Amino acid sequence: MIDNIAPDGRIQAVPPVDGRRARAGFWLVAAVYTLVMLGGTLPLPLYALWAPQMGFGPFTTTLIFAVYALGTVLALMVFASLSDRAGRRPLLAAAVLAAATSTVLFLLADDVGTLLAARFLCGLSTGVFTATATAALGELAGAKHTRRVSTVSTAANMGGLGLGTVVAGLFAQYGANPTHLVFWAYLVSLAPALLAVIVTPETVTAPQRPAVSVRRPTIPDRQAARTEFLRAATAVLAAFAVSGLFSSLVPSFLREQLHVHNAAAVGSEVGLLFIVALIALVAAPERWISGRWPAPAFLVAGVAVFETGLWTRSLPTFATRTLLAGTGIGLAFRRGVGVAQRLADTRRRADLLSTYFLFAYTGTIVPTLALGLLDQTINQDVATLILAVGVIATTLAGALSRPATATT
């Protein structure tokens, strides 16, 4: 079947590649996707080690965390949708190379400036790979396997994020060089990852030379589809806001308030949130995933219990929050990816997915930066409570929005 050129000049994605190459390509992309996301959370347990070495405090830690999300958002606004024209494989390869460059900077980092540059480049890599790999998985699997695509893509995302903190914590606690050995191992692993991308079948034919420009977020044209998409996007914004708050607060909270100094334990506690999300999105009943209320209910309960744990300095309460919020994040994320895949124009699949992930990482940036700013003027517990109320309000606003009745 010959591809057509759309009226807007975009190249339509080819039908799924036949046979073994498509199946092999699907799992290769999923594996590399997991690896790239793993790299995104490797630094989290290491901030406590870098801080005394480089002389920075909590606000700088928050800034470094937010710079990663800013890089991701920039990638989603400028680069991620280029694969609709240039092809999936070139963008995936570029993202792996960006991850490798970021890893080299982490190895060389001896000041905050280099750390910020490494984190920003890591965010660029994650943003490009997230949207492009999700689009490629959908095309390699075919329209008949949308459930498999949403399950595998969200599992790769959440699984990678969870494994990153666990792996970094283990290396930091038991490795010879806590802030370097894990990055050497990761850099080596990116070589076969690049080869896997190169041998993966391309799903966009006759690629054109893309023009780089800042894109406006794309949403479906039909009102009913637009409302459905925005509800799913609002849910994932709230879910990532919860994960952003958790990831930025937990390492310092465990060390300073609960006196947990084992890096492997800290990394595992952060990673547990994403592992629970992974289990939820894989094992949850379909009615939980497709339902309007399960994800918001788990998120709201998780935030409430999280705040209780912060104020009471209770580790068991804190762990309960991880189970509740992780379940909500997994449900919201998988449902949203499925909605975006289903509503996306096949000629512009990465475009709509970029918008979806833009909502997600915006949810990470806003509360993280706000926490860093508020923490300079008021008590951290009060600052966190203010942000928790905002996250709950956003979650409920999205869940309570009425479905559209118009179809045009």
Tokens of 136: 């490629």
Q: How many Cβ atoms from other residues are within 10 Å of residue 211's Cβ?
A: 7
Write down the architecture of domain 19-208+217-400 according to CATH. Up-down Bundle (1.20)
State residue 164's pLDDT score: 94
State residue 108's pLDDT score: 96
Q: Are the C-beta atoms of residues 262 and 48 closer than 8 Å to each other?
A: no
Helix crossing, 19-41 with 88-108: angle to 10°? Answer: 30
Kindly give the parts of the chain with pLDDT less than 50. Answer: 1-16, 405-408
From the list 287, 254, 285, 286, the residue with the least C-alpha distance to 268 is: 254
- 11 beta partners: 5
Predicted TM-score (pTM) of the model is 0.82
Structural element, H or E, at residue 188: helix 181-199
> How many alpha carbons lie under 13 Å from residue 324 in its C-beta half-sphere?
20
Contacts of 365 (CB under 8 A, 6+ apart): 66, 69, 70, 73, 244
State residue 214's pLDDT score: 67
What's the gap between Cα 12 and its chain centre?
26
Return the percent helix, strand and coil in the chain, to nearest 5.
80, 0, 20
What are the backbone angles phi and psi of residue 154, rounded to the nearest 5°? -70, -35
